[in-house]
Amino acid sequence: MHKLIVMLCLMLATNCYAVQTGSDLDARVAHLTEQLRCLVCQNQSIAESQADLAMDLKREVREMLEAGKSDAEVRDFMVERYGDFVLYDPPMKTSTLLLWLGPLVLFLAAIGAFIWRLRQRSREQDAAPPDEAELAKARALLTNKDEQ
């Protein structure tokens, strides 16, 4: 058991070591390319994809960062060429308003419908108070029960 724990610790330690020795640039390239969608295999990020274009774009991102460009500049570079499609996190603007606000609108509509339904139901209950005949019947039942 002790051996196992020691082994696990060692494994974790080497992992940490590997991450820390990776340069800052590597980390930035990896972080950025994970947010960009590969255009050839559309369900992969540029970081994951082995497609030729993805490799080229990784190279491009690395070179831009080496040249001192900011993350935002790299993202703009990609959007200029491939459109918002390359971003996994599309910006909010008029053409994407429905995308961003749609869920909120649906949620509010659902809450609205729920409240409306509740009100209607309580109104239905208020609207029809029991009349005299019904009350008399109920009383009779209750008194009968007492006698038994």
Partner 1 sequence: MKAKALIPLLIFIGLTVFLAIGLTLNPREIPSPLIDKPAPAFNLRQLNASGQALKLADMQGKVWLLNVWASWCVACRDEHPVLVEFSKRGVLPIIGLNYKDRDADALDWLQKFGNPYTTSIVDADGRVGIDYGVYGVPETFLIDGKGRIRYKQIGPITPEVLERELLPRIKELQGA
Residues that bind partner 1 (CB under 8 A): 39-40, 42, 52-53, 56-57, 60, 79-85
Minimum CB distance to partner 1 smaller for 21 or for 94: 94
Give least dist CB 64 to partner 1, A: 11
Q: Which is nearer to partner 1, 99 or 135 (CB)?
A: 99
Residue 22: count other Cβ atoms within 10 Å of its Cβ: 11
Q: Give DSSP secondary structure letters for 55-123.
A: HHHHHHHHHHHHTT--HHHHHHHHHHHH-GGGBSSPPPSGGGHHHHHHHHHHHHHHHHHHHHHHHHHHH
Min separation Cβ 125 and partner 1, Å: 19
Q: How far is the CB of 52 from partner 1 (least distance, A)?
A: 7
* Closest distance of CB 97 from partner 1, Å: 18
Rounded CA-CA distance 79/36 in Å is 10
Nearer to partner 1, 32 or 39 (CB): 39
Structure tokens that stand for 105 in this block: 């609108």
**Nearer to partner 1 (CB atom), residue 73 or residue 134:** 73
Residue 35 phi/psi, 5-degree rounding, is -90, 0
